[in-house]
Structures are given as C-alpha cells and as structure tokens.
Amino acid sequence: MNMAEVLAIGLFVILSLLIIVPLIILIWIYFLDAGQKEHSVLRNYPVLGNVRYFFENIGPELRQYLFANNREGKPFSRHQYQNVVKSGKYKDRVHAFGSERDFEEAGFYIRNAIFPRLRSELRIDQEPKIQTKIYKIDHEGLFNRKEHREDAIVEPHLLADKDAVVLGEHTCRQPFKTKGLIGQSAMSYGSLGKNAITTLSKGLGRAGGTWMNTGEGGLSPHHLVGDTNIIMQIGPAYFGVRTVKGDFSWEEFKRKSEIKQVKAFELKLAQGAKTRGGHILGEKVTPEIAEIRGVTPWETIDSPNRFPEYDRTESLLNFVEELREVGGKPVGIKVVIGSKEEAEKFVREMAELGKLPDFITIDGAEGGTGATFQELSDAAGLPLFSALPLLDSMLKKYGIRDRLKIIASGKLVTPDMIAYALCLGADLVNTARGMMISVGCIMAQVCHNNTCPVGVATTDPKKEKALVIEEKMYRVTNYIVSLREGLFDLAAAAGISSPTEFSEEHLMYRTPSGQLMSGEEFKKSMLALPPELVQEGAS
C-alpha cells in the first residue's frame, strides 16, 4: 500500500467520523428529547428545541455586551459599569462628544452656578499624596489591546479639617472622624472571599479618609490587613459577637471594641437586598468563616429578619446606648424605610425618648450585594431617593437632625449619584457593588451560587485565585479617590467650596412631564401628594 492510498484511507476515516459521530449524537439527542416529559418544546421539537434553550442561557451576556445600549441594563448599565472600571484601572472619567443621557427622561440635575468656584477656592486637603499604580493604553485595536501599568502619585482629594465628618462627636469617648465622604458598604466575609476582602482592605487603607463595613458576617483578619477604618456591623444573628448558643456576648463585643481599627458599630435592622435576614450557602461556610461567625462549618446559615429581643423602638435604643457606653465608640443602625408613616413614627419615638443612635444608615430597596428572594428584592422597601428625603425631613421636623448623621447607600457608584444623595440629606455615602466592580466583578449575577467566575463572591479556592490582590488593590484606591475628585468637580460647578455644603438648594428635578422642581419642592413632594394626584384620587 503506497502513501497515497494510506492518505486516502485516513481521509475517508476522518470524514466518516466527522459525519457519523455527530449523526449518532443527534439521533441519540432526538430520542432522548422526544421521550422526556419535562420540556414541552423539546418533546415536540427534538434537537431543534435545544437551540432555543441555548440562546435563552446566553441571553444575559448577549444583552449585556451586544444588544443593550450603554444606558440600558439592570442592575447597572454598561455606562455605569465602565465608569467604575475606568476610574479604578485608569483613574479616568473623561469621555468625548457629549453625554449619552436621555435628557427627555425624568431625573436629577446639579444646579450649576453662573460663577463657579475656581480650584484654588475649594477647601480641599491634598496631603498626604497617595502612591498607586495606573494603567496606560499603548494600543487599542479591534482584536487586541496593549497596555502597561505605571507607578503614580495622586492627590487624595480629602476634606479640609474643618469639614471632616464626625460620628459620635458628643456622645462617645472615641468619636470617628473621617475626611472622606465615601466608604465601602456592608459586605461580609463569606459572601465575598478572602482575596476580595483583603483587596478592599488594602486598597481603602492606601486611599485613606474612608472606611469599610464588615457586613453582618463579623470581623475577620482579612478586614484588618489593610489598616483601614472599620465599621463593624452586628446583625440579628450576632455573628462575631455571639456565644456558642447564639446569644449576644458582651465579652466578645468588648474585645472587638478594643481593636484600634474598629471605629464604630452598626446594628443591621434591614438592608435593601434582603429585608428577611442574611443567607449564606453551606458550601461557603468554611471552617475559618464558621469560627469567625461562631457557627457550624458547611451548614447553610439563615439569620433572623430582626433582633429577637428588640421589637420596639425603646428597647432597641436602650441597646444602642448600652453598646455605646460599654464600647466607647459610635453606634448606628441600618434601616430600609417602607413608608412616610413608619419613618415618622420611628423618628418621633426617638425624639420623645431623647435616645438616638450616632448615625442611621439608610439603604434603598435598589441596594443589593446580598442574594435574596425576588419578591423581597423587587417589592419590599422604598428606593433611596424616595426614602432619604423622607428620613431627613422627619429628623428636621422633630428637631433632632443635628444630633446624628445619615449614611446613604443604594447604587451610588458615580460622583453624580453621590452628589444627588448629599443634596437630599445624606452626610456620608456607602457603596458596595461599586467596590465589587473595582476588584473585578463582571456582574455575572451568580453571587449566591459560590461560582463567581472572577473570584469575588466565592470562597472556592479554585475560583478565588482569579483575583490577584496586588493588582486589584490599586484599582480600589484609584476608584475611591476618583469618586472624591468627581465630588469636588461638582461642588465647584455648584459654586460651593466643599461637597459637605451640598444641600437641596443645589438640586433640580425634571418630572416625567418635563416640569422642573427645586430640591426643596422635590423633598416636599415626598411628604404630601401633589394636588393633581389628590384630585385624580377623589374623582
């Protein structure tokens, strides 16, 4: 047999395999689909029906990357996502050829001044300088991008000393003073992996003037490694400050309050993502996480939706005061507001009792790193820009607004969104998903499955290795500094010297019908129905 014959036989065998093997597979799938009783489409259209399910499965990715425009997409648009990534990787917020915002839609606008502030007129502290790393693009083609990372020294864009925000200034032995308005919202170790928590801690520590909230999962060594300020959250399950039986442990609380980096404590009554209490799959509860939380390894955890001992405002505030006295540090509460009546009742009772937390963290219903049930995520609680002015107005109405601070959270990932929150009554702002994106999150929306493809929301060591701490921690630094810089840009445009001066007078709102409302009018509209709606309801 000569070489030509061998090649011919080989080619025949290969072609036969390419035809016969796929044909056998298709026939097998045909009878498998036709015989099953679960899917009606596959039963009537064997093989072909699988095409439908294929496109259904990759639909989210197609919409995210191909079909949705830059301003579409939930929970975050491509525009918002790219702003976070560019700020963290390149410390760049510049774009060209005009805004893609639909100016015909309802929305907020910062009221710019005819005579804005010069940069030299801003009250801003640019010391100490921050050493970081920033990417530079060498070439960006259709199929490849060449870039390199450079050492950089950037200005911190901190508040002046006179503008620093203080929690517990007149109530605590150890108040918490911060020269930045933006911190990391509550995200627990366990929900996020150790690489993500470590990266955030180091990145925020390098930026200075900020803080990270531990989430209800307790304080871990990974939170402390970056030497950043910590707000330790205490949830209804008392993770990190509980006894073996699950009761609150004053001994553990005292031990945590003695840690220098822990600047304040926060009691979580609710959060936007889950007003039902926390949830973490058993496969995420490693022995280390179990030890930190004080639970059994590998068992799924569902914490209560409220503190079992506290079902009234008075008992809750008594607990707040006792924590503040024992720990010597500020104590706040985290809430989701459901109605004007509920907000007023809560604030009125605080005023009557004369007992207040040092701060209230208000989370909008749109907030949500945590996994929860659809009905709670979509329906329970008010959005931030409805709830925030309600809370601020009620605190003013009962004369206690100047005795506590408000921290706002809920999709505040860009400087403009943060500025709106400050105008509507916030003193400080938290962001969680912005921080997640800065460390590599691609919005795969599988946080609850422990299968995060980029190693952020997972404790699986094989998945976690994708997140390189040394690389991503600089992105966290750049992102938080970029947010602060953007706030000062907006402050200058509004004619004020510091972002701490933002108020309702610097805000305008365009209604769906195209009418303009001042910030003050918008806040009043949250407290009373507009006349046209009252008339419609009466007819």
Cα separation, 154 vs 321, whole angstroms: 41
Instruction: Report pLDDT for 537.
Output: 32
Which is it for strands 428-431 and 405-409: parallel, antiparallel or unpaired? Answer: parallel
Cβ atoms of 225 and 202 within 8 Å: the answer is: yes
Instruction: Report pLDDT for 65.
Output: 66
- pTM (2 d.p.): 0.87
Cα separation, 411 vs 429, whole angstroms: 10
Cα separation, 100 vs 93, whole angstroms: 14
pLDDT in tens, the chain (539 residues): 677 777 777 787 787 778 888 888 888 888 888 888 777 778 887 888 888 777 777 776 666 666 666 667 677 777 888 899 899 999 988 887 778 888 888 899 999 999 999 999 999 999 999 999 999 988 887 777 789 999 999 999 999 999 999 999 999 999 999 999 999 999 998 889 999 999 999 999 999 999 999 998 899 999 999 999 999 999 999 999 998 888 999 999 999 999 999 999 999 998 765 556 666 778 778 888 888 888 888 888 777 788 888 889 999 999 999 999 999 999 999 999 988 998 999 999 999 999 999 999 999 888 665 566 667 777 778 899 999 999 999 999 999 999 999 999 989 999 999 999 999 999 999 999 999 999 998 888 878 778 888 999 888 889 999 999 999 999 999 999 999 999 999 999 999 999 999 999 999 999 988 899 999 999 988 877 544 443 333 33
Among residues 431, 481, 447, which one has the least CA distance to residue 204? Answer: 481
Instruction: Report pLDDT for 536.
Output: 38
Q: Over the range 217-246, which residues count as b (16 or more CB within 10 Å of their CB) and which as e?
A: bbbbebbbbbebbbbbbbbbbbbbbbeeee
Cα separation, 443 vs 368, whole angstroms: 12
Rama region for 450: left / alpha / beta (φ>0; ψ in -120 to 50; rest):
left
Measure CA 386 to chain center: 18
- DSSP letters for 295-363: S-TT--EE--SS-TT--SHHHHHHHHHHHHHHH-S-EEEEE----HHHHHHHHHHHHHHT---SEEEEE
Cα separation, 338 vs 365, whole angstroms: 9
Q: Over the range 324-363, which residues count as b (16 or more CB within 10 Å of their CB) and which as e?
A: beebebbbbbbbbbeebeebbebbebbbeeeebbbbbbbb
Q: Is 136 helix (H, G, I), strand (E, B) or coil?
A: strand
Residue with tokens 């003073």: 177
φ, ψ at 266 (rounded to 5°): -135, 125
Instruction: Report pLDDT for 534.
Output: 38
Instruction: Report pLDDT for 443.
Output: 84
Contacts of 59 (CB under 8 A, 6+ apart): none
User: How many alpha carbons lie under 13 Å from residue 527 in its C-beta half-sphere?
Assistant: 15
Cα separation, 410 vs 430, whole angstroms: 8
